[in-house]
């Protein structure tokens, strides 16, 4: 394989991972916009999505298992909001963020208890581990196409939802000016629950499509939360579409750092770019200065 093909191979692998980070980063953004909380349990939704789908796939066809996992994890997301955040609105945002870290640990332990410490994975959606598609000289798994297509369609659908539907506009209104949104009769507590449900559903879907490639086990969510957080910050908090670019950037940088540096440095690249962006452009590469200060309401 020549150097050009190798570069393409790394690029594609980076984009694949990056698209998963992008979905996690979108989840961060949705919840942050609606509640001001950074939800560090975001990666657990990805893990739960994969785990639930693997279990369901024993009983039902794969598409049904994936759909079922998305719905179940979305409900878990809604439930977490109602149980842990709705009643604690008057606590500071910092308290709520710490609660999400606690929740992340609890969900992991629960997953360990419900399932076990074994690594699982969903079957390839089409083909198998060794089937590959040639793309400009690089060999890629058909599952990569599934990941990229699913993420692309999801992001497009989310964009249409936020931009052109009444509930989507209401969500944006809540993040733009919660008090005015309330006065327009928007049920803010329900919007917050919706943001958790939506984030969880997106995370679960990502967890399903990536499962055949990266495998799923009870600890696979936490690193994703951190990479997704880096992606959200790099893109600029408050803008779900910038999160996509942030995610791809983090993924691609990571892939190339693996090609140049020892594997132990795998996670360093994400933190390096996170710190760099925080120093140089604290509002993110695509955000506006002062556009999104952490709110206390």
8 Å CB contact between 252 and 15: yes
CA 278 to chain centre: 20
Minimal distance, residue 36 CB to other proteins, in Å: 16
- Size of interface with other proteins, in residues (CB under 8 A): 17
Task: Select from 8, 145, 148, 172 the one that contacts other proteins (CB under 8 A).
Answer: 172
127 vs 168, beta carbon nearer other proteins: 168
Q: How far is the CB of 179 from other proteins (least distance, A)?
A: 6
- Residue 131 or 165: which CB sits closer to other proteins? 165
Cα–Cα distance between 275 and 45 in angstroms, integer?
Answer: 25
What DSSP string describes 35-69?
HS---TTHHHHHHHHHHHHHHHTTTS-HHHHHHHH
Give me the least distance between CB of 189 and other proteins, in Å please: 8
Q: State in angstroms the smallest separation of the CB of 262 from other proteins.
A: 44
CB 204 within 8 A of CB 52: yes
Among 141-149, 164-172, 206-214, 218-226, which window interacts with other proteins (CB under 8 A)?
164-172
Minimum CB–partner distance for residue 177 and other proteins (Å): 5
Structure tokens at 248: 């791809």
184 binds other proteins per the rule CB under 8 A: yes
φ, ψ for residue 133 (rounded to 5)? -115, 135
Residue 111 corresponds to which tokens in the numbers above?
A: 């997953």
| Positions in the binding site for other proteins (CB under 8 A) | 166, 169-170, 172-173, 176-177, 179-188
């Amino acid at each position: 394989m020549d150097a050009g093909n190798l570069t393409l191979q790394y690029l594609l692998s980076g984009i694949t991972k990056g698209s998963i980070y992008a979905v996690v980063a979108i989840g961060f953004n949705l919840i942050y916009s609606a509640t001001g909380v950074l939800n560090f349990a975001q990666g657990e939704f990805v893990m739960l999505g994969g785990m639930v789908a693997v279990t369901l796939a024993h009983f039902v066809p794969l598409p049904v298992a994936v759909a079922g996992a998305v719905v179940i994890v979305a409900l878990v997301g809604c439930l977490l909001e109602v149980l842990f955040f709705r009643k604690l609105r008057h606590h500071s945002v910092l308290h709520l963020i710490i609660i999400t870290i606690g929740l992340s640990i609890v969900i992991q332990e629960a997953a360990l208890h419900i399932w076990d410490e074994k690594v699982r994975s969903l079957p390839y959606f089409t083909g198998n581990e060794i089937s590959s598609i040639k793309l400009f000289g690089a060999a890629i798994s058909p599952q990569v196409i599934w990941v990229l297509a699913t993420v692309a369609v999801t992001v497009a659908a989310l964009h249409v939802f936020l931009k052109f539907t009444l509930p989507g506009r209401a969500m944006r209104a809540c993040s733009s000016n919660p008090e005015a949104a309330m006065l327009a009769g928007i049920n803010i507590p329900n919007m917050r629950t919706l943001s958790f449900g939506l984030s969880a559903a997106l995370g679960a879907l990502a967890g399903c499509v990536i499962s055949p490639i990266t495998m799923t086990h009870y600890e696979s969510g936490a690193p994703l939360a951190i990479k997704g957080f880096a992606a959200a910050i790099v893109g600029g908090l408050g803008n779900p579409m910038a999160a996509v670019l942030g995610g791809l950037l983090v993924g691609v940088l990571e892939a190339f750092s693996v090609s140049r540096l020892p594997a132990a440095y795998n996670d360093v690249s994400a933190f390096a770019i996170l710190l760099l962006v925080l120093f140089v452009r604290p509002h993110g590469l695509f955000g506006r200065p002062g556009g999104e200060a952490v709110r206390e309401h």
